[in-house]
Structure 1
Amino acid sequence: MAKRQKRNSSSGPNSSRSSKNNGSSKGSLLDAVDDQLLMSIPLRQAAQSRYLNYSLSVITSRALPDVRDGLKPVQRRILYTMNQQGLNATAKHRKCAKVVGDVMGNYHPHGDSSIYEALVRMAQAFSLRMPLIDGSGNFGSVDGDNAAAMRYTECRMTPIAAEVLSDLATRTVAFKPNYDGSREEPVVLPSRVPNLLVNGATGIAVGMATNIPPHNLKEVCQALLKLLRDPEIRDYQLVANDAVQGPDFPTGGQIINTKEELREIYSSGQGTIKLRGTAELNTKTKGSPVLQISSIPFGVNKSSLVERINELVYTGKLPLVIEARDLSTDEIRIDLMLKKGADENMVLAYLYRHTDFQKNFNVNMTCLVPTENPEVGAPNRLGLKEVLWHFLHFRLQVLTKRLENELAALLRRIHILEGYALIFDALDEIIRIIRKSEGKADAATKIMKRFPAEKGGLDEEQTDAILELKLYRLARLEINMIMDELKDKRKRANEIKKLLDEDSEDNYQSGRWTIVRTEIESLIEAYNKDPFAKRQSVINTVAEEPEYTPEDFIVAEDCHVMVTKDGWVKRQKLIADPSKSRVRQGDEVLTCVSGNTVAAIGFFSSLGVCYTTRMIDIPASTGFGEPIQKLFKLKDGERIIAAISFDNRVIGEIKENPKTPDLCPPTHALAATSNGFALRFGLANFAEPSTRSGRRYARVAPGASVIDVVTIHGSEVILAVSENCRAMVCAAEEVNYLSGAGKGVTLIRLTENDRLLGFKASVGDRDLMTVQTNRGAKKTISTAKYRVTARGGRGTEIQKNGKISEIVTPPPAAPETFDEN
């Protein structure tokens, strides 16, 4: 001890090293050995070992439930603590802070927030099919509201929790030391309820996860009885009307999987459950018809669902609905006010596809199965039959342990009663011995000497019980009662011995299996009432989804779409003068196009990509609008340089003629790049909405960019102007028409330090473009002055020894309007 104290009292970072050098400390020698071992272990091996320990701890002690009681360790410790505190279903509620504090201090030192969250979930009727905790106060809601702080809420156990803890007092399960060894806790609770399937489980461990749906208690018990009747039953036979029909979620809804899909899920232990809410048209209301939603899929936030529906309504994407109203109380009720003549099936179809009114529940029946070590379970994904099998054999083990404990208690009592019976005929002598004794110890010695155990007399335990016997028990009536009790105890002990002597593991007709069967049947009878017996979720194997197109939910009306040079876009019903429209400071209107809300609009970028969407998807705004990056995935430095409406009234015929596929369509597009290249291409491939990444219409050389895209018919002349005061006028038909994205052909040949500033397509106009030079002069380029030449030349010099600073663009013209008739 002195050497250890000397070792610990050494100070300084080099103290242990100096002790090694002089060899005078045994502790220093141990340090040297430890350091040497640590240095000899590779870092990868050490990290792997420690991470495996950590992952095993998370898997077995935090995240995964046990197949036997269906509980995670924190849930088990909460129920065990409440049981110790006497918080049964008839007790007075107690503050949750008291429960959480005892759980954290005695069994689960992982923080009060995680413990309270687990306690809250066990009390939520919309989270568990059969809540294990009866909460008083605010325990959250299906709207996503958080529970009140633990100092405000109170709790006690529910009657079903008593079934989970029923056999705990007789120590029918193994116990283990708690984290500091100061007390014991059960390894698993002796649950009579198949809690893993009834309430389900959700957890994320390291490298694995679990997601088990809740089920109906009556159906699971019927499946257990079915398995007991026929141990060789197939998995698919357990998924039937007289057993497990499918999951039964506390929030109801519809399960639209086929019977074959459900059987495959329960056989493999994984799969996807398709969930829908339920709704019904209420035709009894005055005025507009009302579509009433009475249940939502499990795990869906109701307030978020209502908010999403109203968002679709207000943005015009769900025009068949006027408004969504949340009228829920204890039961869910969401009223969708429909327009007159609206098809409710179309509304539901849209909700199924664009909201959480239909969602998937990914089943993963991973849990801990028992091993040879009762304190450690092994993670495994099980099918339905395997889960039921493990639970049944766990109940057999609990029953066997209960019978063994009961038999031990009976034998102890019988032993005492046999001592009473032995001295009843010698009461007078026993009393005389006691009266002549000097105390209890002396009396016990004399009695055992008078009635020695070797000759069928009394032992120490029997003698002590006789001395503690109250005098009134010596009455003849009491003696008869003791003899009757002895007779009953011997009879019960013989019954238990007979049950324990049976080979019950594989003999499902044995007495112990009969008791297990009886307990399951009693469970069905005890909870054969609402809301536990009646199914909440409906199995709908023939559900159909109406076919619809996006146009069915668009209100067809004319509108205008405006794009600015900085890439802001907005939609309005009418823009009379784009130059007076609101834009951000320093920004300008690029273009303004017209069309119908059901029509598409294409945005052409400087990198040769076209982004197409429906006009209804453009945000409606009277302000600045929204950045176009919210609609599409633009790359760094990419900007919108043109927009084209694909409304037939605006653009005309853009499809190719199948009889003359070599000819370009009547209306097509022309694009030119800053390095002097140009191409013509068709618009038919871009007239349908694209993904957020768009479709490529041109391949631009590195360092160059598309400067503009315009629609043409092929008879126009093209004026191109470069920065170094060169201009060219050529026929549009000289530019090659490409069937796919390409580089194009040379429009104007540029010098090394020159670039194309802009171009214009015109049909015989005399004045084509006005430019401003760096000397402040404005020049108008006209077909009267510059003749039409072949493409690919250097063009005509506008001014010597100067440059064009900008192209003078007129204010954007008012977009076209249409006759309402």
Structure 2
Amino acid sequence: MSSEPNLFDLPGAPNGGSTPPPPTGPGETDVALHDAAQTRYLNYALSVITSRALPDVRDGLKPVQRRILYTMWQQNLTADAKHRKCAKVVGDVMGNYHPHGDSALYETLVRMAQSFSLRYPLVDGSGNFGSLDGDGAAAMRYTECRLARISDELLSELDQDTVPFRPNYDGTRTEPVVLPARVPTLLINGAMGIAVGMATNIPPHHLGEVCTALLRLIDNPELTTLQLCKYVKGPDFPTGGQILNSPDELKEIYRTGSGAIRLRGTWEKGEVGRSSKVITITAIPYTVDKSELVTRIADLVISRKLPPLLDVRDVSTDDIRVELEIKRDADEALIMAYLCRHTPLQVSLGVNLTCLIPTEQEDIGRPERLDLKAMLWHFLHFRMEVVNRRLEYEAAAIARRVHILEGFEKVFDALDRILEIVRKSDGKADAAAKIIAAFGLDAEQADAILELKVYRLARLEILIIRRELADKRERQAEIIALLGDEPARWALVRSEIAEVQKVYSDTRADRRRTTFASDDEVVEYDAEAFIIEEDNVVVVSRDGWIKRQKEVKDPATTRLREGDEILAAVGGSTRATLVLFTTQGGAYTCRFIDVPASTGYGEPVQRFFKFKDGERVVAVMSLDPRVSPGLHPKAEGETPPRHALAASSDGYALRFSLAPYIEPSTRAGRKFVKLPDGVEVVGVAQVTGEETIIAATREARAMLCAANEVNVLSGPGRGVILIKIDGAKDRLLGFIASRGDRDLMVVETSRGAEQTISTAKYEVTARGGKGRELLQRGSFTRVVPPAPQVIGVPE
């Protein structure tokens, strides 16, 4: 052994030695690692939630979007200005407000300019800003941008002290905490984001519907979310499509703030030719890549998985037009139902109405999942706050102007004296002091008089000044009255929202793009509709090869790999299912048609199902009702007339219903038995409960008992003891379900001989014992399988 000391035994080690750790430096303290990690991670999580991933309920923007729009507003890149290079905008945003990567900034800018990403784009782009086919935008040095017209409604009130500001990242500038938006951006454009421990996914909506709901909520604050759904009927995606959710489902989503929207593309019938006809896809679901959709449909054409579909062509320009050529006698509804199931023509979009709501600290928001009414309520009260601050700002500005005009009015008739004072003064300060003393003015009024231009001394100017003063006093009285009258301010908020609705939504160009499907329009996918019904035979070998053939007269002559043999040959309709039971307790179900047709060796079964290491097929059953009738119980709670019995190598057995295994399973299959470690299923057979079970073990013991003594389980379980296994070397080799004296179990002995076991030779006893000893010397090596035969449809 090494004599070197252990690290943890050294002096000062965490759990060894008696010497204390060295003292920390000046100003340093000891902090536990888990405390430091927790504090830092929470700080990071809070930063991601409040400053990156979630939008604000008031202006509906994330910080990066807000900073881009604010920078463009500062640069006067309004809808009336010329476009400017995106690289310039991105550089200014990154240098002044958002010290992150330029690629992320540019991606955000591009998305705000894409008409297929935002329902109401906030940026007007010039150049290549990407496409629905997944093409990326050109580099920022090639593209140009300016604000879209609707962005004016987000930014125009910024210079009226309507929203709070905060320092930027280095304290050299200030930026708005939120934009004074007049439009409910959060709902009309939606938002997607992933934070730490939470996410948001708000779909876009129609501006006209959202504004109508806002107006109705102002008129009647007692309206509930369900009542507001009368006006906000559902999302309105920029790429159109058709929503499959029922009105009740949509109301539940808006009530709870979460759910899923089922959205599919739309299509229309086209030209009908001599041997074919055309279906034109006119809209695709939101976030779906059109080129990927066309590729997926083309794969179906090439692989012939959908025989009625002959060709696909993308002839889109500005509008989406994907033409599908199908056979003349094909059913369009069934074809499209198949495509909705197997391609992105139909998707499910999650809804999570999580956003930041204002708190007592004006620059920090709190994340919360809201319902529809709460989102509208927060926006309306934000607009009320903006209107209050705007009126107060305007009142202060008018008060300052009235003060100056009153000074002008007071001295206008004494201009000669004013000029005399100025001439005799020793400078501006001296002249101001003398004017203040002579006329009782303050410093601000005196300074304004001294800055007055000479042409303003004309006689007509006093009329202009008095007219302006009268107008200002009138407006001042109106503002004071508004600030003291809350209903009047709500009326002002209402009129501004109505004006936004009229300007941006009451046009033909802004009609709803996403429609709603009625129950009559929705054709559900039916896999059997595309399967030609005919009888086939599926052959499975002991080495796990599977194939389907039209007819198998003699299973012994079917083509197999060297050393392999037939495990089972079962028949049934191509629309029926078959189930494979394995040694590890798995049941894998598929349709007959899903098994590849072959006259060769077939395909490995692992290609279709996800088997574990060492898992093998031990039994195959056709669940065609003609082959296996009576799989369903006659009454609830009863055992089905025909069911299954399985036994495992540790001597346990169980009976179970086959009804749960009729429908096709996933690749992972279903469990029908629970097995201890090292135990395998040795066989599964169909029974009615009237059979006699004949089981044999390796130590040459046999058990003959009634099948109905084995318990029927409603779910996967271990079962009951069929035969006691004595010793570590012993195990159950197999069993048969005997229906009479002629049903024989043939076992092979360790000496190479064969021995038969039947009810005619041995007595039937109760289960659970050690069974009958059949050999005094030697053992059984295996159960000899019967000659293969097709278990098929009765003629």
TM-score band w.r.t. shorter chain = 0.7 to 0.9
Q: State the partner residue of 2:428.
A: 444
* Counterpart code for 1:68: R
Q: How does 1:175-254 map to 2 (within 5 A)?
A: 175-240=165-230, 243-254=231-242
Q: State the partner residue of 1:501.
A: 480
CA contact (8 A) 1:291 1:335 kept: yes
Helix, strand or coil at the partner of 1:118: helix
Residue 292 of structure 1 is aligned with which of 277, 280, 283?
280
CA contact (8 A) 1:410 1:493 kept: yes
Q: How does 1:798-817 map to 2 (within 5 A)?
A: none
Name the CA shift for 1:61/1:485 in 2 (closer, same or farther; >3 Å). farther
Helix, strand or coil at the partner of 1:502: helix
Post-superposition Cα deviations, 1:166-203, rounded to whole Å, max 9, x if no partner, equal 11233332211111111110111111212122112233
Q: CA–CA distance in 2 between the matches of 1:681 and 1:225?
A: 62
Q: CA–CA distance in 2 between the matches of 1:414 and 1:772?
A: 117
Q: How does 1:27-66 map to 2 (within 5 A)?
A: 31=27, 34-35=28-29, 38=30, 49-66=39-56
* Counterpart code for 1:525: K
Name the CA shift for 1:560/1:501 in 2 (closer, same or farther; >3 Å). same
Post-superposition Cα deviations, 1:288-309, rounded to whole Å, max 9, x if no partner, equal 3444332333334444555555
Residue 121 of structure 1 is aligned with which of 92, 111, 127?
111
Q: CA–CA distance in 1 between the matches of 2:114 and 2:245?
A: 27
Post-superposition Cα deviations, 1:276-325, rounded to whole Å, max 9, x if no partner, equal 43333346555434443323333344445555556667777756645555
Post-superposition Cα deviations, 1:663-706, rounded to whole Å, max 9, x if no partner, equal 998x9988776578899999777555456665667787864534
Residue 388 of structure 1 is aligned with which of 359, 376, 384?
376
Q: CA–CA distance in 1 between the matches of 2:596 and 2:606?
A: 12
Q: How does 1:752-767 map to 2 (within 5 A)?
A: 753=729
Deviation at 1:360, TM superposition (A): 4.4
2:443 matches 1:453: no
Q: State the partner residue of 1:329.
A: 317
2:616 matches 1:639: yes
Name the CA shift for 1:394/1:767 in 2 (closer, same or farther; >3 Å). closer
State how many pairs are aligned. 762
Residue 108 of structure 1 is aligned with which of 86, 98, 110?
98
Name the CA shift for 1:83/1:531 in 2 (closer, same or farther; >3 Å). farther
* Counterpart code for 1:364: N
Q: How does 1:294-313 map to 2 (within 5 A)?
A: 294-306=282-294
* Counterpart code for 1:390: H
* Counterpart code for 1:498: A
Q: CA–CA distance in 2 between the matches of 1:712 and 1:363?
A: 49
Post-superposition Cα deviations, 1:203-260, rounded to whole Å, max 9, x if no partner, equal 33344433322221122223333334444555444333xx433322222223344555
CA contact (8 A) 1:750 1:794 kept: no
* Counterpart code for 2:107: E
Q: How does 1:634-783 map to 2 (within 5 A)?
A: 634-647=611-624, 651=627, 689-690=664-665, 703-707=678-682, 740=712, 742=719, 745=722, 753=729, 781=754
Deviation at 1:165, TM superposition (A): 0.8
Residue 487 of structure 1 is aligned with which of 454, 461, 466?
466
2:38 matches 1:69: no
Name the CA shift for 1:148/1:630 in 2 (closer, same or farther; >3 Å). farther
Q: State the partner residue of 1:278.
A: 266
Q: CA–CA distance in 1 between the matches of 2:585 and 2:728?
A: 22
Q: State the partner residue of 1:6.
A: none
Q: TM-score, structure 2 length as denominator?
A: 0.77
Helix, strand or coil at the partner of 1:393: helix
Name the CA shift for 1:459/1:750 in 2 (closer, same or farther; >3 Å). closer
Name the CA shift for 1:622/1:95 in 2 (closer, same or farther; >3 Å). farther
CA contact (8 A) 2:689 2:708 kept: no
Moved more, 395-404 or 181-190: 395-404
Q: CA–CA distance in 1 between the matches of 2:565 and 2:103?
A: 53
Name the CA shift for 1:52/1:780 in 2 (closer, same or farther; >3 Å). closer
Name the CA shift for 1:678/1:77 in 2 (closer, same or farther; >3 Å). closer
CA contact (8 A) 1:422 1:457 kept: no
Name the CA shift for 1:602/1:186 in 2 (closer, same or farther; >3 Å). same
2:144 matches 1:165: no
Percent same amino acid at aligned positions? 49
Q: How does 1:353-432 map to 2 (within 5 A)?
A: 357-416=345-404
Q: CA–CA distance in 2 between the matches of 1:344 and 1:421?
A: 82
Deviation at 1:752, TM superposition (A): 6.4
Instruction: Give the CA RMSD over aligned residues.
Output: 5.3
Deviation at 1:76, TM superposition (A): 0.6
Name the CA shift for 1:419/1:331 in 2 (closer, same or farther; >3 Å). same
* Counterpart code for 2:65: Q
Post-superposition Cα deviations, 1:114-142, rounded to whole Å, max 9, x if no partner, equal 43333232222222210111233443444
CA contact (8 A) 2:570 2:792 kept: no
Post-superposition Cα deviations, 1:460-496, rounded to whole Å, max 9, x if no partner, equal 555555555555x2574xx52x434423432332233
CA contact (8 A) 2:258 2:352 kept: yes
* Counterpart code for 1:447: A
Name the CA shift for 1:302/1:452 in 2 (closer, same or farther; >3 Å). same
Deviation at 1:535, TM superposition (A): 0.9
Q: State the partner residue of 2:533.
A: 556
Post-superposition Cα deviations, 1:378-422, rounded to whole Å, max 9, x if no partner, equal 334444344333333333333343344344444545555556566
CA contact (8 A) 1:769 1:780 kept: no
Residue 534 of structure 1 is aligned with which of 480, 490, 511?
511
Moved more, 294-303 or 601-610: 294-303
Unaligned runs of 5+ in 1: 1-16, 22-26
Q: CA–CA distance in 1 between the matches of 2:444 and 2:74?
A: 31
Q: How does 1:87-166 map to 2 (within 5 A)?
A: 87-166=77-156
Name the CA shift for 1:543/1:233 in 2 (closer, same or farther; >3 Å). same
Name the CA shift for 1:364/1:178 in 2 (closer, same or farther; >3 Å). same
CA contact (8 A) 2:57 2:356 kept: yes
Q: CA–CA distance in 1 between the matches of 2:193 and 2:208?
A: 25
Name the CA shift for 1:253/1:708 in 2 (closer, same or farther; >3 Å). same
Unaligned runs of 5+ in 2: 1-18, 714-718, 765-770
Residue 521 of structure 1 is aligned with which of 474, 498, 508?
498
Q: CA–CA distance in 2 between the matches of 1:265 and 1:608?
A: 40
CA contact (8 A) 1:292 1:334 kept: yes
CA contact (8 A) 2:569 2:791 kept: no
Name the CA shift for 1:559/1:402 in 2 (closer, same or farther; >3 Å). same
Moved more, 173-182 or 513-522: 513-522
* Counterpart code for 1:555: I
CA contact (8 A) 1:736 1:745 kept: no
Name the CA shift for 1:727/1:223 in 2 (closer, same or farther; >3 Å). closer
Q: CA–CA distance in 1 between the matches of 2:392 and 2:382?
A: 15
Deviation at 1:557, TM superposition (A): 4.2
Name the CA shift for 1:413/1:700 in 2 (closer, same or farther; >3 Å). closer
Name the CA shift for 1:208/1:663 in 2 (closer, same or farther; >3 Å). closer
